[in-house]
Amino acid sequence: MTHIDAGAELDPVHPVPLPPSPSGLTSAEVADRVARGQVNDVPVRSSRSVPDIVRANVFTRFNAIIGVLWIIMLIVAPIQDSLFGFVILANTGIGIVQEWRAKKTLDSLALIGEARPTVRRDGAAREIGTSEIVLDDVIETGPGDKIPVDGVCVETDGLEIDESLLTGEADPVVKRPGDPVMSGSFVVAGGGAFRAVKVGAEAYAAQLAEEASRFTLVHSELRSGISTILKYVTWMMVPTAIGLIISQLVGEDNDLKDSVARTVGGIVPMVPEGLVLLTSVAFAIGVIRLGRKQCLVQELPAIEGLARVDTVCLDKTGTLTEGGMDVTELRVLADSSCDEPYVRRVLGALGGSDPRPNASLQAIIDAYPDDDNGNDDNGNDDSGGGDESDGGWRTTATLPFSSARKYSGASFEEADGTVRTWLLGAPDVLLAEDDPALAETGRLNEQGLRVLLLARAAGRAPDDPRAAEGAEPVALVVLEQRLRSDAAETLRYFAGQGVRAKVISGDNAVSVGAVAAKLGLSGEAVDARRLPQEPARLAGAIDEYTVFGRVTPQQKREMVGALQSQGHTVAMTGDGVNDVLALKDADIGVAMGSGSEATRAVAQIVLLNNSFATLPSVVAEGRRVIGNITRVATLFLVKTVYSVLLAILVVCWQVEYPFLPRHLTLLSTLTIGVPAFFLALAPNRERARPHFVRRVMRYAVPGGVVAGVATFVTYLVAGHHYSGPGALEAETSAATLTLFLISLWVLAIIARPYTWWRVALVVTMGVAFLVVLAVPWLQDFFALRLVGMTMPWIAVGVAALAAAALELLWRWVDRREPAE
């Protein structure tokens, strides 16, 4: 490993003394920097703060409208006409509590999966939180680690860093001592250490980690659809409300307080005030439910997004298979000049030369421990220069494994002074296509085994780009991968839900195909090196085949893009640095909790229990949210449509508005508020469908029009039927009865398919209304009194006709709905 002095010629003007060597800061120097505020104090939050939650739930456009109207009603009308304000307070409180619970869940899960970089302090390496890094800390880094702050390399050992998430350049950058590293990039190969030169808000990508894991409600079809609906509602509300105010306060010669009350009664129900709340609550409860299954949802719309996915791309290692491997066989090739004991020693030396082995090399280390090659645990020579008396080998050069390169290597000076270079990696990359060793490799791959080739390079250093040219194949190392016990069942679930699975792996295509076949995925395995380069042809090939091997990290990204170009919604799962680019570009990125820090940072969903079988739970939560919010949105918007229509009809006919606020508060509570809360949180396995706004409005508009017209007809008929004192209350009661029955029928339709609790919910709401009509003090409180027998039955008859028309209309809409 090469070094530079951490304080030499890097930063001549510095606010505090620099550490004298790469051994790191002392405790006193750390304390000095903390006192000066030179700490990486940019908070990485997984959720909104409590003040943010309160602001988001309290200070909304519609809460402001309702709040002003509530204050007016408290001044001019009885308390029962101000009930809608107390309902809004209760709803807002529920929303705050649920999001706070979701925040606690997210924060606790984020702590479990939080990255803890290794720094050198007082001459020893220790793990600390990212926010504890101070200026000049010497930070160690290895494959998969994300660079948390800006720095300058002080040690490198084949260090390669991918800066594509910052610069867009796909090729990894080789770093040497003195080279800068930027926060937000990640290590793809090798290791080293760097000194922190910019921390906190000064770092180049200080906000990247925060944004990657922030609790957010954006980029969601549900959220954007609801925002679109609310925009249209506002446009309808403003002119309608103005017309209603003029009609009631100027056009009608009525008592001022009663006119104000009826004007407010016409404006309040236009506001779908609970719709945003219920969407937030549904998402928040989804986070809590998934959190109990050790699933960290870093961005809330990911719950919805995964439910909309139609293609899931799977990395084999760590997703379909467990991370560990076992060496099952060592095959020394017949024409090799090496015997098996010597080959074992070479493998042990290769294992000892890499301080950060991947899963394959770790299996080799376990099988062939490096007991006598003279290397310490960090791959550094401690044999006193390879003393021949003890048979020690001295490592002279190393090349760490890279997903793009597909091999690693090292050079050793053996006991007799001979320097030999060894390469270990993919046989089909290291060997020519006509090499006979590939035939044997192919037979092993067909059994689902992973095969590495040990080859002796022809006099070149391991980091020479042509090191593999003319290499002598020496032995095949056969490894067995352990399949995840839940992988086959999870793949069957996705297949049953119409979600296509694509296995995209850097391993040999035949081996990947054999593993996929064991899990029930059929189809030809394709070597990605033979895929066409043209985007259109590539998209066609990706769409046609299921299993791909020898895929480079850049190709994974291109394959995800090709699927998206065909109109697919793509999820990508992975755990290694070779998956980061594809995870970032996919519609939904899913990382394993045991995966690299970089993959966890860019993924929207992290499976902390490393269980692929958790994904169906995420899909189920997404479907519950999408399906249920679509149901309740229809309930809310039917009310908005009939409220706007009633106001228009009142203005056109120049009559008093039929309802006081208390009437609509009662109707909204029994036919929307209470039922919507239960429906929004109920199980729902309907397949997610697109075009949320269109699907909601095609039911809400006809439903609202039918309800509004039928209610106004009853109101006009009652106006001719009743006369004298108390006539207005009797007219209002008849109209309220009609509107309640129609709204109850809308609820009954939306509650389908029926279960016992859905039927009980609808019946309970109907019984509650009957109780209001039957109990004298409730009659007085809500100003509802049915007079006589004729008009109430007319009201019921009009409601029955409207319900029949509504049933026919919605069935007609269903038949016209295109297949999606």
What's the token pair of residue 799?
């409601």
Q: What is the pLDDT of residue 43?
A: 54
Q: What is the pLDDT of residue 253?
A: 56
- Element of type H or E holding 210: helix 208-212
Output phi, psi for 586, to 5 deg. Answer: -65, 155
CA neighbor of 487 nearest in space, from 587, 614, 591: 614
CA 313 centroid distance within chain: 15
What burial letters (b/e) apply to 687-721, b meaning 16+ CB within 10 Å? ebeeebbebbbbbbbbbbbbbbbbbbbbbbbbbeb
Residues of the chain with pLDDT under 70: 1-22, 42-48, 109-114, 164-171, 204-219, 250-255, 300, 323, 371-391, 817-820
pTM exceeding the 0.75 threshold for the entire prediction: no
In the residue annotation, 315 being an active-site residue is answered as yes
Write the DSSP symbol of residue 249. I
Domains of the chain: 2-45+118-212 (2.70.150.10), 220-288+619-816 (1.20.1110.10), 295-320+484-614 (3.40.50.1000), 328-477 (3.40.1110.10)
| Contacts for 488 with CB less than 8 Å, ≥ 6 apart | 518, 519, 520
Q: How far apart are CA 650 and CA 447, in angstroms?
A: 78
Catalytic residue among 137, 145, 157, 315: 315
What's the token pair of residue 417?
């002074």
Report helix, strand or coil for 492: helix
Alpha helices per DSSP H over 36-145? 50-58, 61-76, 83-112
Q: What is the dihedral of CA 38, 39, 40, 44, to 10 degrees?
A: -140
- Element of type H or E holding 306: helix 301-308
Q: What is the pLDDT of residue 737?
A: 96
Tell me the HSE value of 757 on the side-chain side, using a 13 A CA sphere: 6
Q: How far apart are CA 54 and CA 60, in angstroms?
A: 11
Q: How far apart are CA 619 and CA 125, in angstroms?
A: 41
CA neighbor of 810 nearest in space, from 748, 762, 738, 760: 748
Report helix, strand or coil for 93: helix
Q: Are strands 150-162 and 180-181 parallel, antiparallel or unpaired?
A: antiparallel
> Which residues are bridge partners to 573 per DSSP?
314, 590
